[in-house]
């Protein structure tokens, strides 16, 4: 039997009708749909008027379902079941992540830290990919501004109108030296200990250099800058040949201190940290995959 549903009939009415028939009671069907018994009765009467047939025989107690009413019940039950299946599929597609997140990160974070965030994320979401590019800090900003990267991860993220910044974590700064240096035998290196010490510094135009210079100046410390580089990797190489000491973020030297190629000691300036932030272009609509990846990074950052 072909059932034609009038335009005025909605899924709520069909669900109410099915519950009345299934439970063999207007009162129980009404309760299941959180409406009054009177409202349930009126809805079924309106449905009968719309269909032009009698669906329930109310002359009997309890009522019985007419052949037309049974046909409508079977059709509606199938319709409602398929509707719930469709909702589940749509919901699953909404939670399933796919596509690629383009990440631009400074070298010290990208080389040493990102794999432990990327691999679990891609394992949890097999259809999603994270593509990482390691760049100089100002290139990270350019990549995000020019839409060559969805998000950027960098230290001392700049305050720019075009960028949104999400604080990620603060990294403790430590004094890093050759394992044979006298500092390697200290429990803590105090600021005055650095006075006149040969120092391998960051380039003057970098935010981390300005932060270190400012902290040392506040402690009335003057170091002897013998080399300047624009990245942590080169600074570590210089320290490894005992060219001088430096102040670096603790996470960037974990591997070297574990194998004994470098020594790292706490610095007596506990509030000197390197802030790491996640940046993205304010006008950019981030994909669900990018949003979820940022969320996973922030969750990891909370435990760092």
For the chain, the domains span 11-95, 99-169+275-302, 171-273
To the nearest 5 percent, what fractions of the chain are helix, strand and coil?
A: 45, 25, 30
pLDDT at 7: 42
| Per-residue CA distances from 129 to 97, 118, 132, 148, 301 (Å) | 9, 8, 10, 16, 20
Q: pLDDT tier at 95 (50, 70, 90 boundaries)?
A: low
Reply yes or no on whether the pLDDT at 1 is more than 50. no
Looking at domain 99-169+275-302, its CATH class is: alpha beta
Question: Which of 124-128, 152-156, 286-290 is modeled with the greatest confidence?
Answer: 152-156
The confidence score (pLDDT) of residue 88 equals: 63
Average pLDDT across the chain, whole number? 89
Are 99-169+275-302 and 171-273 in the same CATH fold? yes
Phi (first) and psi of residue 10, to 5 degrees: -115, 170
Place of tokens 């965030």: 117
CA angle, residues 155, 157, 159, in degrees to nearest 5: 160
Fold for the domain defined by 11-95: Arc Repressor Mutant, subunit A (1.10.10)
Q: How far is CA 2 from CA 5, 71, 72, 76, in A?
A: 10, 9, 9, 12
Read off the pLDDT band of 299 (50, 70, 90): confident
56-57 and 64-65 as β-strands: parallel, antiparallel, unpaired?
A: antiparallel
- Write b or e for each residue in 45-78: b if 16 or more Cβ atoms lie within 10 A of its Cβ, otherwise e: eebbeebeeebbeeeeeebebeebbebbbeebbe
Q: What mean pLDDT comes out for the span 103-129?
A: 88
Q: Do residues 146 and 265 lie in contact, with contact meaning Cβ atoms separated by under 8 Å?
A: no
Quick one: pLDDT at residue 218?
A: 96
Structure tokens given for 72: 């409508």
The confidence band for 61, taking pLDDT boundaries of 50, 70 and 90, is confident
Taking the C-alpha atoms of residue 243 and residue 246, their distance in angstroms, rounded to an integer, is 10
* Residue 96 banded pLDDT, cuts 50, 70, 90: low
Instruction: Reply yes or no on domain 171-273 having CATH 3.40.190.290.
Output: yes
Q: How confident is the model at residue 286 (pLDDT cuts 50, 70, 90)?
A: confident
Return the pLDDT at 77: 85
Winning range, highest mean pLDDT, from 70-84, 121-135, 226-240:
226-240
The angle formed by the CA atoms of residues 74, 76 and 81, to the nearest 5 degrees, is 100
Distance CA 250, CA 172 (A): 6
Cα 95–Cα 96–Cα 97 angle in degrees, nearest 5: 110
pLDDT tens column, 233-282: 999 999 999 999 999 999 999 999 999 999 999 999 999 999 999 999 99
Condensed to tens digits (0 to 9), the pLDDT of residues 215-245 reads 999 999 999 999 999 999 999 999 999 999 9
Q: What percent of the chain has pLDDT over 70?
A: 93
HSE, CB side, 13 Å, CA atoms: give it for residue 47.
26
Q: Using an 8 Å Cβ cutoff, are 178 and 240 in contact?
A: yes
**Per-residue pLDDT band at 6 (split at 50, 70, 90):** very low
| Residue 134 confidence (pLDDT) above 80 | yes
């Amino acid at each position: 039997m072909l059932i034609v549903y009038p335009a005025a009939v909605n899924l709520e009415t069909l669900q109410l009708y099915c519950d009345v028939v299934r439970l063999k009671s207007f009162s129980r069907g009404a309760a299941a749909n959180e409406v009054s018994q009177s409202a349930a009765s009126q809805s079924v009467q309106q449905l009968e008027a719309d269909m032009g047939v009698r669906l329930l025989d109310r002359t009997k107690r309890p009522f019985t379902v007419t052949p037309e009413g049974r046909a409508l019940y079977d059709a509606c039950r199938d319709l409602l079941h398929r509707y719930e299946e469709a909702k589940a599929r749509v919901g699953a597609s909404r939670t399933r992540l796919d596509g690629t997140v383009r990440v631009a990160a400074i070298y010290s974070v990208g080389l040493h830290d990102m794999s432990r965030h990327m691999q679990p994320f891609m394992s949890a979401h097999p259809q999603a990919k994270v593509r990482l590019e390691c760049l100089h800090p100002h290139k990270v900003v350019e990549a995000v501004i020019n839409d060559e990267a969805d998000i950027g991860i960098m230290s001392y993220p700049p305050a720019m109108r075009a960028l949104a910044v999400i604080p990620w974590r603060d990294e403790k700064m430590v004094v890093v030296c050759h394992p044979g240096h006298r500092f390697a035998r200290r429990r803590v290196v105090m600021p005055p200990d650095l006075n006149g010490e040969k120092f391998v510094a960051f380039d003057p135009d970098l935010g981390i250099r300005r932060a270190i210079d400012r902290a040392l100046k506040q402690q009335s410390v003057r170091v002897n800058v013998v080399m300047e580089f624009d990245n942590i990797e080169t600074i570590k190489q210089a320290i490894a040949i005992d060219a001088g000491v430096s102040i670096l973020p603790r996470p960037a030297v974990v591997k070297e201190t574990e194998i004994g190629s470098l020594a790292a000691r706490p610095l007596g300036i506990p509030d000197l940290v390197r802030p790491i932030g996640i940046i993205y272009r304010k006008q950019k609509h981030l994909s669900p995959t990018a949003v979820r990846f940022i969320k996973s990074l922030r969750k990891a950052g909370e435990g760092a």
